[in-house]
Structure 1
């Protein structure tokens, strides 16, 4: 188990008040023994991105903008994230990300190539992920773009869960990701997932503490209800967020979509009645799958999502249990049913359900 020393732990949980030069001194001091990533000058990154030209921009969010770049000399493709210059909160997130990704290494976490802290510039440089984010392949697909097939979705779900498992169980204290969502799951050329954007991560409780208390951060819709209402954060908060994303992958629906009818704008509210009746599970499948999924695999994936989304955090599974369940789904060599075969199987299952009165309670 990887142990994070006490001094660094304190830096993760600082109050949000300090001078702007805090980041430079902390990176310099802590970096001597802990940060092995390359230190870039701002001019080097301007060269890599052609002065952060709009044509090179590949993403944008509240944190800032992401550009594709090419490093001088090696011509290595990288993703360059230029953080918004919004005071200490941005500085803290920058420090957390540099320290975390320098301390933690796993195939399911994005690799930090280096960073830049010139003056008031805060820039992070990652390995470039050629297939963008999971969000790019689930929602608002342009004409002609192929939707992810079922097996690829389950492969991504399992890999993303393994990333959380590493944070929760290979680190001491555990790392709570706090911003698990489809746009933060990046995909390589083979659609292997890697978690990115660790600026909101927190170190979990130590000793006999059951949670850490913090200002509520993250993205609306993905936050666990107990965290949103009390600010009390645990690894089970991440498990809830994972359940939301898994449900997005199953349904092809955004967690919040104001373009849908009023009763369907919130994915969780729309799904709750359906989650309680196995006979309605097929109504939840993404229409873009065109019925090409193993029916029992769909049922099992929905059951996993339902367990993760339970209101009571204590009833949610550990992420390691989720990994075990998804590993079975991802490795099953079950041929995807063609539509006629599937309809026959669904009819058979409906008959069984009527006889046995089966349902899944959330």
Structure 2
């Protein structure tokens, strides 16, 4: 007797039959899955081009996931859409939480071949609307810089809103400086802190001056800065970003976005956001790196807490600002530069603040001078 071309009188060869069946089964399933992914990508592209009435249109934001680009990303495997089941499997059903935000949780994802990702699960019940999610996707699809956390893919499936992001293993700058676990890893040196500040300044320079259209981050803070290692960092979390440099209409206090301690005081008063709002937040970040303190001290912001000392004409007084954990191992000329940058970034009149490019130049220059001195 014969079955699928194999004689049943020779049972040693019958194992080939289920193998053939399995190959056929997986081939059919893979083809169906490829069709599903293509349909998802096409749906996102159509929505972005305004061909159907979707949440993208209702949001009123300038979304630009074109059909051509989306197809290219999905084909090349750079950025693609994911089915919910794929990301549930990669995260082991959202088992290992590695972070959280006001509207989201972040989970570790195993992508295979020793690669990992971070899945940001935006929760509508926490205020993470579809519009905010799509705004963030739109921003992430536009940007690419070594000091910005990159997008690997996204999922809009069965009511879930998921971003698959680049995984940065060493947690946030906030964790490193202000938690027991982070401090148990040792103190960030002065040179570490300068290098991290320069990386974030370069990230903002890219967003403000190179991205097209320009992007205002609106939530620069230590918990949104992820550490590659002690010397290098990436800026994350683009859910509050604004596209373009046009003057945004004043907003009511209930719609003001950002984090207390970092938020631009001019923005808080007027509701008008600009690139100089990010510069203000960066000034607070510099104070955090200098002092080792959090952005708020009780009900007082760090900018207010340090004002008398940092504005003192006697540069010797600035030493009182220093994080005691540094044990005085600081280059005083560099300290002077950073305090001066912080003071100029924190002025009330946003027009009087420096642009981020001049800040990048000043930090780079003072770091190069130290390198020359050490070589000499």
Equivalence for 2:22:
none
Secondary structure at the aligned position of 2:87 is classed as helix
Query: Which residue among 324, 329, 332 is the counterpart of 1:292?
Result: 329
Secondary structure at the aligned position of 1:254 is classed as coil
Query: Which residue among 174, 192, 217 is the counterpart of 1:177?
Result: 217
CA RMSD of aligned residues (A): 2.8
Equivalence for 1:354:
none
CA distance in 1, matches of 2:297, 2:373: 29
Equivalence for 1:306:
343
Structure 1 residue runs without a partner (length 5+) = 1-7, 12-18, 338-362
CA distance in 2, matches of 1:88, 1:248: 29
Query: Which residue among 116, 127, 149 is the counterpart of 1:77?
Result: 116
Name which structure has the greater RCO, CA cutoff 8 Å, separation 6+: 1
Secondary structure at the aligned position of 2:198 is classed as helix
Equivalence for 1:50:
92
Label 1:191 to 1:296 Cα distance change in 2 as closer, same or farther (>3 A).
Answer: closer
The answer to whether residue 207 in structure 2 is matched with residue 135 in structure 1 is no
Alignment deviations for residues 92-125 of structure 1 (CA, whole Å, 9 cap, x no partner):
2211221111111111111101111102100111
Equivalence for 2:65:
30
Equivalence for 1:5:
none
Query: Which residue among 205, 210, 224 is the counterpart of 2:264?
Result: 224
What count of residue pairs does the alignment treat as equivalent? Answer: 309
The answer to whether residue 357 in structure 2 is matched with residue 317 in structure 1 is no
CA distance in 1, matches of 2:372, 2:330: 8
Alignment of 1:202-351 (within 5 A): 202-206=242-246, 210-214=247-251, 215-258=255-298, 265-277=300-312, 278-333=315-370
Label 1:29 to 1:255 Cα distance change in 2 as closer, same or farther (>3 A).
Answer: closer
Cα deviation, residue 332, structure 1? 3.3
Equivalence for 1:195:
235
Structure ranking higher in helix proportion: 2
TM-score (norm 2): 0.76
Secondary structure at the aligned position of 2:185 is classed as coil
Secondary structure at the aligned position of 2:160 is classed as coil
CA distance in 1, matches of 2:232, 2:213: 27
CA distance in 1, matches of 2:277, 2:201: 13
CA distance in 1, matches of 2:119, 2:134: 16
Secondary structure at the aligned position of 1:129 is classed as coil
CA distance in 1, matches of 2:58, 2:316: 60
Cα deviation, residue 75, structure 1? 4.0
Equivalence for 1:348:
none
Cα deviation, residue 91, structure 1? 1.4
Given that 1:154 and 1:329 are in contact with CA atoms closer than 8 Å, whether structure 2 keeps it comes out as no
Alignment deviations for residues 184-242 of structure 1 (CA, whole Å, 9 cap, x no partner):
11121464211111111001334xxx455444111111111111112101111110011
Alignment deviations for residues 314-358 of structure 1 (CA, whole Å, 9 cap, x no partner):
110000000001111333336999xxxxxxxxxxxxxxxxxxxxx
Equivalence for 1:168:
208
Cα deviation, residue 34, structure 1? 4.2
Structure 2 residue runs without a partner (length 5+) = 1-44, 74-78
User: 241-250 or 92-101, which moves further after superposition?
Assistant: 92-101
Cα deviation, residue 89, structure 1? 5.0
CA distance in 2, matches of 1:196, 1:92: 19
CA distance in 2, matches of 1:131, 1:153: 15
Given that 1:212 and 1:232 are in contact with CA atoms closer than 8 Å, whether structure 2 keeps it comes out as yes
CA distance in 2, matches of 1:34, 1:24: 19
Alignment deviations for residues 121-144 of structure 1 (CA, whole Å, 9 cap, x no partner):
001111110211111111133363
CA distance in 2, matches of 1:322, 1:32: 38
Label 1:295 to 1:116 Cα distance change in 2 as closer, same or farther (>3 A).
Answer: same
Given that 2:117 and 2:166 are in contact with CA atoms closer than 8 Å, whether structure 1 keeps it comes out as yes
Query: Which residue among 61, 75, 90 is the counterpart of 2:101?
Result: 61
